[in-house]
Amino acid sequence: MSAPKKENIWLNLGFNVVVPALLLSKGKAWLEWDAKLALAVALAFPVVYFFYDLAKRKKINWISILGFVGVLLTGGVGLFELDKKWIIVKETSIPLIIGVFVLGSVWMKKPLARLFLYNDSIFDLQKIDAALFAKNNTDLFNRLLKQGTLLIAFSFFVSAVLNCLLAVWIVQSPAGTDAFNEELGKMMAVSYPVIMVPCMIIMVAALMLLIKGLTRLTGLSLDECIKPQK
């Protein structure tokens, strides 16, 4: 069976961040759209991308589903002119839910570090598992995966806190107004560097922890652990 196609990161950023942020910030000035139309069109881009990516790669996961639900919730707050506090709740709750789920997986058979870090798109799992078994280190490696999972959960909790602070700081206007749209656009634009950088640092730390333990417990070099690319 062929591996799923890799996601186009630039298309992802364009549809989910750049275009929606521009339409929300400049829709009224450039196109003379009212606030609700600008919001609806801007949020249509992430929705279209969700279904486009699903049709192209035939791959979906619970994180992408939560992201899709988040877009719908943002649209609901703006279009139905709900209290702006619901944007803060939404921005905080989605990474918090993911973090709790990841944390809970520590006590399951397969900690979610297997999904985020230790997977067959990066590592030669058969070779690694055989080396761990030969050295009787499988249990020690499972403990290492749990440590990595804790770090990943921590990254989502950091994201939840930063999301909350950004939403409180930026979103000040009532939903359904041009000012609200502009603030949403600003929040989209700044959230990636502000939130993604610290979270990526934590994720890289988790990956380095995994690699260091992997080579120590298997006796393999990093090159031997990495899956050969066709």
Query: Phi, psi (5° rounding) for residue 123?
Result: -105, 155
Q: What is the mean pLDDT of the chain?
A: 87
In this predicted model, what pLDDT tens digit does every residue of 29-47 receive, in sequence order?
Answer: 787 888 889 899 989 998 8
Of the CA atoms within 13 Å of residue 143, those in its CB half-sphere come to 6
Query: Which H or E element spans position 192?
Result: none
Predicted model pTM: 0.83
What 3-state class would DSSP assign to 226?
Answer: strand
Q: How far apart are CA 92 and CA 98, in angstroms?
A: 11
Residues 165-210: tens digit of each pLDDT:
999 999 999 998 999 999 999 998 888 788 888 888 998 999 999 9
Q: What is the mean pLDDT of residues 139-153?
A: 93
What band does 1 get if pLDDT is binned at 50, 70 and 90? Answer: very low
